[in-house]
Amino acid sequence: MGDIRVAVIVPPGFRDETISMLNLLLAKNGIIEELSGFSMNECRGQHGATVKPKKVLTDVDPSGISGLIIADGPGMDELRLYNYRPLLNLVRAFGERNRLIAGIGNGIKAVARANVIRDAKIAHVDEDTAKFVRLYHGNVTDDALVLDKNILTLSDHSKMGEMVVQMAKELGTL
């Protein structure tokens, strides 16, 4: 079996804890993380952490990647990145290949907006995100972590470890 890779889309103003926890937990579960950004420039988190993307999200090829994670952070809302067509096209491409797609916090908006959540159960989200989920025919649940079909959503960061274990099981590294 080859290396299992997931692309992690890092928005400007990302939530520092999300990226640091993903980095640690993905490696611990045998998943190779490929940080991808909206540019090749160093990206700064909301609390000052910085990451350097390996590639621009438009260069992510779903045929060589097992999953996609849309990270959260204030930049997702401030810059309205959930409307950024290349991001939506990427999410849709993963959906068309039935690859695992994960949305964390307000990153769930981009997953919903890509129109890949029809009839899927989605983790409990804030009312603003819930509007997107309902608009694109998803079903908001009371749960903080939900896997339905190939869509994995997380609204409670304390369950990040559980989310990555769920991903590892789905991707076959556990």
Stated pTM of the model: 0.96
Identity of residue 5: R
Contact yes or no for 55/34 (Cβ under 8 A):
yes
Q: What tens-digit pLDDT sequence spans the chain (174 residues)? A: 469 999 999 999 999 999 999 999 999 999 999 999 999 999 999 999 999 999 999 999 999 999 999 999 999 999 999 999 999 999 999 999 999 999 999 999 999 999 999 999 999 999 999 999 999 999 999 999 999 999 999 999 999 999 999 999 999 998
Please name the CATH architecture into which domain 5-171 falls.
3-Layer(aba) Sandwich (3.40)
Domain boundaries, the chain: 5-171
Are the beta carbons of 105 and 72 closer than 8 angstroms?
Answer: yes
128's enclosing H/E stretch is helix 127-135
What spatial distance separates the first Cα and last Cα of the chain, rounded to whole Å? 13
Count of CB atoms within 10 A of residue 158's CB?
9
Q: For strand 32-37 and strand 55-56, is the pairing parallel, antiparallel, or unpaired? A: parallel
